[in-house]
Amino acid sequence: MVVTESVDCSLEGAVSSLRSGGFVLLHDATSRENEIDMVVAAEFTSPEHVRMMRAEAGGLLCVALSNEVGKKFGLVRMHDIFLSAARQYPILRSLNEEETPYGGRPAFSITVNHRRTFTGVTDLDRSLTISELAHLAKKAIENGQDSTGEFAKNFKAPGHVHLLLESEGSLEKRRGHTELSVHLCELAGLTPVVALCEMLDGNSHKALSIDSARTFARKNAIPIIEADQVISDFFKDSTFYAPQSVSPWNHGLS
């Protein structure tokens, strides 16, 4: 464990950590989920990254894909899959969530395993699935071509890695961890595919508090940032955005 005297709360520090294959802790907003996710670029995800996310974060391990990558893979949201399938299976219409308690539709798409995995759930298997998603995404972006065939050739469903799709228009339309983390990866000049996992608290049995996340960040030398920092960068050339909250990292850092 690396213990530091202070917490890096800068956007620059977060981008630098992603570029070097490190984690970032990302808080969305007190007015939204009020959760902190552990985030790492998918192209660097190793079995140790997966171990740390399941052991230290404890939430649902997902992979966020940019809107462009999702389209090239031929993916759609689970919400739309349920609506389509409900014509034959009516129960799916009743189960379908139109809006989450914190606003907007869920970003979830399907779950996948890479075809070279065995069960798909081990640290080795999930890191393979995650890193190969980034590898194929990079090829799809560079080639500028539809990659639905390659996606089906390399991955199978259902699996153990949950896919999240960035909204069309990104942070203009939705301000969830999916859009925030994808924009962070783009800022870092990396493939816009991100592994992320919510941080949970084993004592309160709720989401990890901001203060506890700050302590974890300091002990492990991981940058921790607020959504407003990412959103402000996204809208930096616009006169229509003003941050909606004051960052809790601005005062009393130790």
177 tagged catalytic: no
- Please give the pLDDT value at position 236: 83
pLDDT in tens, 110-138: 999 999 999 999 999 999 999 999 999 99
Residue of 76, 135, 137, 143 lying closest to 110 (CA atoms): 76
**Model-level pTM?**
0.89
Ranges 21-30, 83-92, 197-206, 209-218: which has the least confidence: 21-30
Domain boundaries, the chain: 11-234
What's the CATH architecture for 11-234? Alpha-Beta Complex (3.90)
Q: What is the mean predicted confidence (pLDDT) over 135-143?
A: 97
123 tagged catalytic: no
62 tagged catalytic: yes
Reply yes or no on whether the pLDDT at 57 is more than 50. yes
Residue of 103, 21, 107, 23 lying closest to 65 (CA atoms): 107
Q: In angstroms, rounded to a whole number, what is the distance separating the alpha carbons of residues 9 and 15?
A: 11
Q: Which of 28, 33, 62, 197 is labelled catalytic?
A: 62
Q: What is the mean predicted confidence (pLDDT) over 33-38?
A: 90
